Amino acid sequence: MTLSVGHIAIFLMPERGHVLPALGLVAELVRRGHRVSVPATAAFTAAVTECGATAIPCATTLPRDLPASLFEAAKLALAEAESAVPQLEAVFRGDRPDLVLWDVAAWAGGVIAHRLGVPNVVLEPFLVSNAHWSLAAEVVPAREFGPEAIRFFTDVHRFVGSALPEFTAGARCRIALFPREFQPEGRTFDDRYVFTGPCLAERAFQGTWKPADDRPVVLATTATQVCADAARGMPWRLVTKGGVLSPAHNVETHELVPQPEVLRHASVFITRGGMAGVMEALHHGVPMIVLPHMTDQRFHGRRVEELGLGVLLDTVTVEGVRSLVDQLSSDSAISARVRDMQRMIHRAGGSAFAADVVEEELAR
């Protein structure tokens, strides 16, 4: 089959955990000769253009930090989509894509694809749901489905034109940016779900990093002050971001951490547990201490712990960090399980396989 190149629009929620795991797919589609357009806020324009795609300017309504509740985050996603559609619909009417890819939280992409009559594919940066395991049921249990939830889903129906499950079901397929083995009840998902693993790309826009010495490296992107205090006097080097009071000589602080560069050298990753960070850690074979902030991060941390890839913590202390860093960096059973998942991620196919799936849909 000879495949002609196409114009592909990719809509991503303008948040690190949604943009970064898809950059490898963007870059791979560009490498294969496709013209790729990605709506992007100022914060992510460099990331998109570095991949060779065209960044379509778009303002965002999202706050700097997302709330802990996924239900509250979903309300922000609706407001974001309602703001994005009038900014972007005319752009894509004037430059009609052949295929739309949209992050499952970037509903503007699905709405615009429907209005233009363009086929579409959903990108899944979260754990996915079916009759055997449901993220939605975990987020909004039936007993909590009260007037506020009813109002929200009524507003969603008005905006997207149907109930949310029917809206997403209109996509030709769903590309999950993690391996099937990480998904609860993963074997029960049919071939409408394609588990490609993360689609990672080089991120020169974040800068470079190399270890200053041969000490083991611990990366912490949350609870940074506690982790910095824990690192004092320890035989490892802590790399972290943000302000730290009176850091010890073995603590590096950065305004922006080039996470993949550090993970290449890390022995432990202390993280909130977003899917993007979890997959980057496992891609590099690094066990985790997960300190969740959002509901979905707790599910990821629970899955990390179930699979023996790290530890889920509700409370973090200096002594707890020291003990767990020592345990995770020296436990051969944990190391073996992390290496197994690393192989599963690499075997899933990543950007190349995801691009194959997109090209198959483009050719239909």
Distance of CA 11 to CAs 15, 48, 97, 250, 282, Å?
Answer: 12, 11, 12, 41, 26
Same domain, 329 and 354: no
pLDDT for residue 285 is more than 70 = yes
Q: Can you tell me the distance from the alpha carbon of 110 to that of 117, in angstroms, rounded to the nearest whole number?
A: 10
- Same domain as 77, residue 112: yes
Same domain, 95 and 121: yes
pLDDT for residue 1 is more than 50 = no
Considering the domain architecture, whether residues 215 and 193 belong to the same structural domain is answered as no
- At 165 the pLDDT is 82
189 and 63 in a common domain: yes
Beta bridge partners of 240: 220, 253
Q: What angle do CA 329, 185, 287 make, to 5 degrees?
A: 10
pLDDT at 87 over 90: yes
Same domain, 61 and 176: yes
Q: Can you give the residue range of the structural domain that contains 298?
A: 206-346
Predicted pLDDT of residue 139: 60
The CATH number of the domain holding residue 76 is 3.40.50.2000
In a domain, 277, yes or no: yes
Cα–Cα distance, 13 to 77 (Å, whole number): 8
Give tens-digit pLDDT for 12-34: 999 999 999 999 999 999 999 99
Rounded to the nearest 10 degrees, what angle do helices 107-116 and 147-160 cross at?
A: 40
The total number of structural domains in the chain stands at 2
Instruction: Give the number of other CB atoms < 10 A from CB of residue 298.
Output: 20
Residue type, 46: A
Average pLDDT value over all residues in the chain: 93
| Domain presence at residue 263 | yes
Same domain for 211 and 193?
no
**335-359 mean pLDDT:** 98
pLDDT of residue 228: 97
Does 213 lie in the same domain as 135?
no
Shared domain for 167 and 228, answered yes or no, is: no
pTM of the model: 0.93
Q: Are residues 119 and 131 in the same domain?
A: yes
Lowest mean pLDDT among 70-84, 123-137, 190-204, 321-335: 123-137
The stretch 306-328 carries a mean pLDDT of 97
Q: Are residues 164 and 237 in the same domain?
A: no
pLDDT of residue 142: 56
* 8: β partners: 36, 99
14, part of any domain: yes
Does 2 have pLDDT greater than 60?
no
